[in-house]
């Protein structure tokens, strides 16, 4: 009796699997592809954030920092002197930006690289610069000063999109690195 139930169960499962339509199969393929891209960080998809933050520097994906860092960086008082610049925002815009970055911060992300960033940060730690994050430091440890600070087209590790050719898409893997005046990165 047990064998018959197992056999019936297998046959029913097989008929369900074979009855998947072409559109469902295509949808499944897109789902699988989206899972493979979750190894990076979520690209910036907020127009206000891209406009306000991107006006002065590369608009860093929120998944590159934990929420406690964003809380410090997007504090109204802190924005009066944001790395030497006045980046004050009106209350409504600030609230909107805070909501966006908090919801997409590293520890709230399901993206693999953001989770690695979270694990590299000690509890209670709140780096104010992405270049202070242990994971980011470790990923860039082989770069020479000549490649970064001495490179007029890069000048700082904070200039992510100078070398990461797909940074705007939230892709930071080694295959997409091209260091100006040095070429593609061969890790």
Domain boundaries, the chain: 43-136, 140-182
pLDDT digits (tens, 9 = 90+) for 97-154: 999 999 999 999 999 999 999 999 999 999 999 999 999 999 999 999 999 999 999 9
| Pair of tokens at residue 172 | 């930071």
* pLDDT given at position 16: 44
| Pair of tokens at residue 106 | 């590293």
pLDDT digits (tens, 9 = 90+) for 33-46: 455 557 899 999 99
* pLDDT given at position 15: 45
- pTM for this structure? 0.78
Q: Which residues contact 29 (CB under 8 A, 6 or more apart)?
A: none
Report angle CA 164, 169, 174 to the nearest 5 degrees.
35
Measured between alpha carbons, how far is 65 from 61 in angstroms, rounded to an integer?
8
């Amino acid at each position: 009796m047990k064998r018959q139930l197992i056999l019936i169960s297998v046959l029913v499962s097989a008929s369900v699997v074979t009855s998947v339509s072409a559109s469902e199969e295509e949808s499944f393929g897109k789902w699988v592809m989206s899972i493979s891209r979750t190894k990076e960080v979520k690209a910036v998809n907020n127009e206000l954030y891209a406009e306000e933050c991107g006006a002065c520097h590369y608009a860093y994906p929120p998944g590159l920092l934990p929420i406690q860092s964003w809380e410090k960086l997007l504090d109204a008082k802190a924005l009066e002197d944001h790395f030497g610049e006045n980046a004050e925002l009106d209350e409504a815009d600030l609230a909107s930006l805070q909501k966006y970055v908090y919801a997409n911060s590293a520890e709230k992300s399901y993206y693999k690289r953001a989770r690695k960033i979270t694990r590299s940060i000690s509890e209670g730690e709140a780096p104010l610069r992405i270049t202070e994050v242990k994971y980011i430091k470790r990923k860039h440890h082989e770069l020479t000063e000549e490649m970064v600070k001495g490179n007029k087209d890069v000048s700082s590790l904070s200039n992510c999109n100078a070398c990461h050719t797909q940074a705007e898409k939230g892709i930071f893997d080694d295959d997409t690195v091209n260091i100006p005046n040095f070429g593609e990165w061969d890790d």
